[in-house]
């Protein structure tokens, strides 16, 4: 069964003629799970479930991609992997490491052609994960999405998080898929009092990426930190929707997005800070830095602040363009040519995000010098 998906919807629509309110993917279907290799440190409980996650966590967790991803998961009827940290347990020096390996599925998904997936039996793979952090607990999770460089196909991953009182989750997602792969990556989180979710997202390869994240900051002094680094080249298409949903008092959110666009790449970022009635004292910050390597790229950004509460602070900003002429002149005067300068600065943006990864083993694998400096 194939499904027509409408995902990454803005919480408040802008002008329809801009075609930025949502993403539409016709003819999407999944038939099985991708292979997952898991390293689970002592102190963390791993399980499997079929039931609705709301029944286990006690809360309904919405995601950035939206309800159509829940429907796609229900169609697939796959097993959901769960990881729970018991109350008072802090796993600081190790991480849950999940490697999702995708093989060549033999087709390139085309969102304009429903027959490209599902209708002719060419369906992708889907996995689902649930992380439960009981009160006063902490854990780190590293999720790797990998495939051979020339591999093609479609993959979907949904992650839901329930962070209970004073718990902390460090979630790292690294994307290194085939040059013709399409990834639907969906995240939803719920934070109780004093809880924190830290998300580090690296998007390094992949033809089409649809990235959605929504975290509800429900408990007083709960917080969200997001750091995204991306590199889009060729005809890559990157569509992102991130929503910090403030409902609790004195909650905080911070989103930092840094990326590089080159060749004919396309990127759309929807970043929402949503202050709901009752979240007095809440603070939200959003900052995007985009380097445009070629004049043929397309960059779209929608920074959105929704406010139903008076006593809040919301900030957003974006730096988009090529390198400053004075910086180029300074570096060229030191013997560097312009192409090498751009390559170095592009790499620096990704390296800066890698250095924030809390798991030393992962830092060492992604960039050896980062682990040595940490």
Q: How far apart are CA 187 and CA 64, in angstroms?
A: 6
Confirm whether 244 is domain-assigned.
yes
Confirm whether 67 is domain-assigned.
yes
Q: How far apart are CA 10 and CA 65, in angstroms?
A: 10
What is the per-residue pLDDT for 199?
A: 98
What is the per-residue pLDDT for 374?
A: 42
Q: How far apart are CA 194 and CA 185, in angstroms?
A: 26
Q: What is the DSSP string of 52-87?
A: -HHHHHSS----SS-HHHHHHHHHHTPPEEEEEE-T
pLDDT higher than threshold 70 for residue 120 = no
- Domain total of the chain: 1
Confirm whether 305 is domain-assigned.
yes
Q: Are 200 and 357 in contact (CB under 8 A)?
A: yes
pLDDT higher than threshold 90 for residue 336 = no
Confirm whether 295 is domain-assigned.
yes
What is the per-residue pLDDT for 212?
A: 97
pLDDT higher than threshold 70 for residue 322 = no
Confirm whether 183 is domain-assigned.
yes
What is the per-residue pLDDT for 248?
A: 98
Burial profile 50-87: b = 16 or more Cβ within 10 angstroms, e = fewer? eeebeebbeeebbbbbbebbbebbebbebebbbbbbee
| pLDDT 10s digits, 14-23 | 888 888 999 9
pLDDT higher than threshold 90 for residue 368 = no
Confirm whether 154 is domain-assigned.
yes
For residue 131, give the nearest of 174, 168, 78, 89 by alpha carbon.
Answer: 168
Lookup: tokens for 312: 């809040």
Confirm whether 199 is domain-assigned.
yes
Confirm whether 20 is domain-assigned.
yes
Domain that holds residue 247: 3-322
The residue that leads in pLDDT, 63 or 374, is 63
């Amino acid at each position: 069964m194939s499904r027509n998906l409408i995902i990454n919807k803005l919480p408040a629509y802008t002008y329809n003629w801009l075609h930025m309110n949502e993403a539409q993917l016709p003819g999407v279907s999944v038939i099985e799970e991708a292979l997952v290799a898991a390293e689970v440190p002592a102190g963390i409980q791993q399980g499997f479930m079929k039931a609705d996650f709301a029944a286990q966590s006690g809360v309904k967790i919405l995601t950035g991609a939206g309800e159509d991803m829940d429907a796609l998961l229900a169609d697939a009827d796959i097993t959901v992997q769960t990881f729970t940290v018991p109350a008072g347990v802090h796993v600081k020096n190790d991480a849950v490491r999940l490697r999702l390996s995708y093989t060549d599925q033999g087709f390139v998904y085309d969102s304009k052609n429903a027959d490209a997936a599902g209708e002719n039996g060419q369906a992708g793979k889907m996995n689902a994960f649930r992380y439960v952090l009981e009160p006063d607990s902490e854990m780190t999770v590293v999720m790797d999405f990998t495939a051979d460089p020339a591999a093609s196909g479609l993959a979907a991953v949904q992650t839901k998080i329930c962070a209970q009182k004073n718990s902390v989750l460090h979630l790292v997602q690294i994307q290194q898929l085939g040059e013709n792969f399409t990834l639907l990556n969906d995240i939803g989180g719920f934070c109780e009092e004093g809880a924190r979710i830290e998300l580090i997202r690296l998007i390094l390869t992949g033809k089409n990426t649809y990235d959605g994240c929504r975290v509800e900051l429900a408990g007083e002094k709960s917080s969200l930190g997001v750091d995204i680094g991306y590199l889009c080249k060729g005809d890559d298409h990157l569509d992102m929707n991130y929503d910090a949903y403030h409902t609790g008092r004195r909650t905080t959110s911070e989103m930092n997005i840094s990326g590089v666009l080159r060749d004919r790449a396309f990127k759309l970022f929807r970043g929402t800070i949503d202050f709901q009635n009752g979240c007095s004292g809440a603070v939200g910050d959003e900052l995007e830095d985009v380097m445009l390597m070629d004049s043929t790229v397309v960059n779209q950004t929608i920074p959105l602040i929704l406010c139903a509460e008076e006593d809040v602070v919301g900030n957003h900003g974006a730096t988009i363009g090529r390198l400053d002429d004075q910086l180029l002149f300074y570096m060229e005067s030191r013997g560097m040519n312009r192409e090498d300068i751009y390559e170095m600065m592009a790499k620096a943006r990704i390296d800066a995000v890698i250095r924030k990864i809390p798991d030393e083993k992962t830092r060492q694998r992604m960039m050896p010098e980062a682990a040595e400096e940490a």
